[in-house]
Structure 1
Amino acid sequence: MTASPLRTRRVPTARLTMQITEVREEGEPVVLVHGNVSSAAFWRTTLPLLPERYRPIAPDLRGFGGTDPLPIDATRGLHDHVDDLAALLAALGVTRAHLVGWSMGGGVVMQYLREHPAAVRSVTLVNPVSPYGFGGTRGVDGILNSADGAGSGGGTAHPEFVARLAGGDRGEESPLSPRSVLAACYVKPPLRPAYEDEYVEAMLTTRTGEDHYPGDSTATTVWPGTAPGTRGVLNSLSPLHFRIDDLHLVDPKPPVLWIRGEDDVIVSDTSMFDLAHLGAIGAVPDWDGTPAQPMVAQTRGVLERYAASGGAVREVAVAGAGHAVHLERPEEFGSALLEVLEVLA
């Protein structure tokens, strides 16, 4: 395996112009999809790990990095990103690919598999968002806590974090600065990842506002007083708009690797970003007993049905790692990823 320098380029597609990061233009395609408040830069330690027989492609999603910042229609869930990805692969001449998705990118990958199963060689989910979205549900089957999706959507973001993101804050004087959130939540403290400055810059490429991050919101009389709107990132992740409970019906069923850090505080059954859990611990006032969303259990339930229907699923829980296991344990992550890639070798 020979390390190659990372390079970026913008690729015109039928929908928008997307920026991609890559190391070579030959080999079996492996598409790596980043998460929320990030960009393809978060794959910088992963891309060079892949042997030369693979062609890693890491796109910036719309509204992040160097891709056109078109608005996000949240009523389509993650379909804007899925359709953008399909257009990108068509422009690159890629008909089948391995898909790797981190956090929100895991949701994009699951939705892509649901829509285009024959185009997917394998799936790797890295600390993925629940198949029932982020916030506003209870139980392993993702039952809505309220018909209006209360507890999810654009109104759940902390206003100071949004303001510091929009203002280009590169410091860590506030616990709500992007750098502080990266250090406290993306990875498990006390680890400070290599290339931290580059990751902060990637976070700061996030477009903010009602069409992007966090999106608009709707007032509700149901605790915690905010329900999703129809525009922007967090609304696209609301269970009102994003729900994948029939993944087991896709045909064919490529192999799935689910790898996660056991100490993830973002995607967790006790997530520090879930208002219901925060209410239970007294961090959000007037909690009415709404249960926390069991995000990990929900993902496990969907993948167990996939396996019971004939799909191959492997779960890897990495002790001592947080939300960005690919940054925290690059060698361990790379080994697990290569295993699923080479199932079809």
Structure 2
Amino acid sequence: MQEFAVQTSRLRQWVRQHGEGTAVLFIHGNASDSVYWEEVMLALPEGYRAIAPDLRGYGQTEDVLIDATRGVMDWVDDLLALLKELNVDRYHVVGHSLGGAVIWGLLAADAPRILSVTLAAPGSPFGFGGTRDAEGNPTTPDFAGSGGGTVNPDFPARIARQDTSDEGGSPRDIMNRFYWKPPFRAAREDALLEGLLREKTGPDRYPGDFVASENWPGMAPGIHGPINAISAKYVGDTVQRLLAQTHKPPVLWIRGDSDQIVSDQSLFELGTLGLLGAVPGYPGQDAYPPQPMVSQTRHVLEAYGPFKEVVFQDVGHTPYIEKPDEFMAEFVAHLKSTQLETSPAQS
């Protein structure tokens, strides 16, 4: 595994890389970094060049602010600049969670160069929070209940002080309760925890800022940080643009049946928490239903075209770590189904 920094036209980005051949771009999720993809990268067969950057705001990449008003496009533009520096033309792309949300924007911006897409428990194409139905219609005009104000402030505070304990609510505890389905524990738990703890925190970073709202639960998205960037408020016309593409690379969508982070009743989404009585003043399911994240992804992919949905049983939010052999079988078959017609030197 190679690790190095790449200075692009936008920022200094940290990259993990392994192998030679057709490029495969790996995009990590929130509260993690590229270390989460190492085992998958190493397990790829010969003929593939695995590239996994730390996104802006994460890992060892230069600490540059995220303009959330652009949605995921700061990350998309960073990735396109990185691919240019690495002399990558056509490529496969893989994204987990927030990384899957980034892929929706990447597809809208760069579909003709993408050979295939693999989504592992991806964020909804309509963003995280603030929408009420499979079509992504907003729950309130200001998208209240999404963005930086929805994050329990104790979690980024524990990241900031590099808490490695196993106490309730600690990063290690959250990782082991929600990233995968208990009682599963990752073999490289400490390395993965270190990757989580490398996220940049603060009001302008993770979780980001927020503004007061007249609508329940009393806060709406701000303009900085990753959680605002994935708010439905800033999705814009991303879905329309990706559906309008004439070249539509095939999509493999893998998720766990026990995912508590991205689901139709996510325990990290205010509609679900309100319905469970965990947030005061809940106005009721008619006014603020849980966001149907999985249904939204399926709705968009059915309109998009070529996709395959695979559901792993007894798996939480990170199927490629929880069931690596099953994931690799599906993933490699998907990669090989789209053969690049150029030489490795041109890829």
Normalised by the length of structure 1, the TM-score is 0.95
* AA aligned opposite 2:301: L
Is 1:284–2:279 an aligned residue pair? Answer: yes
Aligned-pair CA distance for 1:162: 1.5
**Inter-partner Cα distance in structure 1 for 2:5 and 2:86:** 11
What SS class does the counterpart of residue 338 from structure 1 fall into?
Answer: helix
- The aligned counterpart of 2:18 is 23
Say if 2:108 and 2:239, in contact at 8 Å, map to a contact too: no
**Inter-partner Cα distance in structure 2 for 1:62 and 1:211:** 13
- The aligned counterpart of 1:180 is 173
- The aligned counterpart of 2:210 is 217
What SS class does the counterpart of residue 240 from structure 1 fall into?
Answer: helix
Match of 2:291 among 290, 293, 310: 293
**Inter-partner Cα distance in structure 2 for 1:230 and 1:297:** 27
Runs of 4+ deviating beyond 3 Å: none
**Percent identity between the aligned chains?**
47
**Inter-partner Cα distance in structure 2 for 1:122 and 1:210:** 36
What SS class does the counterpart of residue 184 from structure 1 fall into?
Answer: helix
Match of 1:260 among 226, 231, 255: 255
What SS class does the counterpart of residue 266 from structure 1 fall into?
Answer: coil
What SS class does the counterpart of residue 201 from structure 1 fall into?
Answer: helix
Aligned-pair CA distance for 1:158: 0.2
**Inter-partner Cα distance in structure 1 for 2:268 and 2:55:** 22
* AA aligned opposite 2:193: V
**Inter-partner Cα distance in structure 1 for 2:13 and 2:246:** 29
Match of 2:94 among 81, 94, 100: 100
Match of 2:116 among 105, 114, 122: 122
Match of 1:317 among 299, 311, 314: 311
Structure 1 unaligned blocks of 5 or more: 1-5
Is 1:333–2:327 an aligned residue pair? Answer: yes
**Inter-partner Cα distance in structure 2 for 1:322 and 1:147:** 32
RMSD (Å) for aligned C-alpha atoms: 0.9
Normalised by the length of structure 2, the TM-score is 0.95
**Inter-partner Cα distance in structure 2 for 1:76 and 1:204:** 25
What SS class does the counterpart of residue 48 from structure 1 fall into?
Answer: helix
**Inter-partner Cα distance in structure 1 for 2:336 and 2:186:** 28
- The aligned counterpart of 1:91 is 85
Aligned-pair CA distance for 1:210: 2.4
* AA aligned opposite 1:296: V
Say if 2:104 and 2:239, in contact at 8 Å, map to a contact too: no
Is 1:227–2:220 an aligned residue pair? Answer: yes
What SS class does the counterpart of residue 101 from structure 1 fall into?
Answer: strand
**Inter-partner Cα distance in structure 1 for 2:149 and 2:59:** 23
- The aligned counterpart of 1:161 is 155
**Inter-partner Cα distance in structure 2 for 1:306 and 1:199:** 34
* AA aligned opposite 1:334: M
**Inter-partner Cα distance in structure 2 for 1:7 and 1:285:** 49
CA distances 1:157-210 after superposition (whole Å, capped 9, x unpaired): 001111111111001112x21100100000000000110000110010000012
**Inter-partner Cα distance in structure 2 for 1:75 and 1:214:** 15
What SS class does the counterpart of residue 309 from structure 2 fall into?
Answer: strand
* AA aligned opposite 1:216: D
**Inter-partner Cα distance in structure 2 for 1:62 and 1:245:** 23
CA distances 1:243-296 after superposition (whole Å, capped 9, x unpaired): 533232112111110111111000010000001100101111111111000000
